Amino acid sequence: MSKKRQRYSAQFKFRVALEAMKEHQTISALASQYEVHPTLVRNWKKQLVTEGAAIFQPGQKKKPDSAKIPDTELYEQIGRLKMELEWLKKKSEQIG
């Protein structure tokens, strides 16, 4: 059985990245201490370095709204899913 993906809080990520920035321990040692993969520690450290300055800039949003999907795309997706559902219902009736 597959293991469920673990999600880490922003506070936890920040704490680990900050420890990595201090460089008192190696990344591998930090990964063992916090029980995460070393690649995650490197990625969180890199993210803290690149996006850290944005925290102190006034008037900036945390995340851009570019992640929103326009309504037309959603309606298209709903239409496709309805068509697939109808097709599956039709095929299941033919089989069984």
> Is the domain of 40 the same as that of 72?
no
* Domain assignment present for 14: yes
d(CA 32, CA 9): 18
Q: Total domain count for the chain?
A: 2
In terms of pLDDT, which residue wins out, 8 or 96?
8
- For residue 60, pLDDT over 90 is answered with no
Range of the domain at 91: 67-96
pLDDT tens column, 15-59: 999 999 998 999 999 999 999 999 999 999 999 888 887 777 776
* Domain assignment present for 59: no
d(CA 36, CA 58): 33
Structure tokens at 71: 């309504």
Q: Which residue has the tokens 């916090």?
A: 34
> Is the domain of 50 the same as that of 74?
no
pLDDT tens column, 63-94: 555 566 678 888 899 999 999 999 999 999 98
Amino acid at 86: E
**pTM of the predicted model as reported, rounded to 2 decimal places:** 0.55
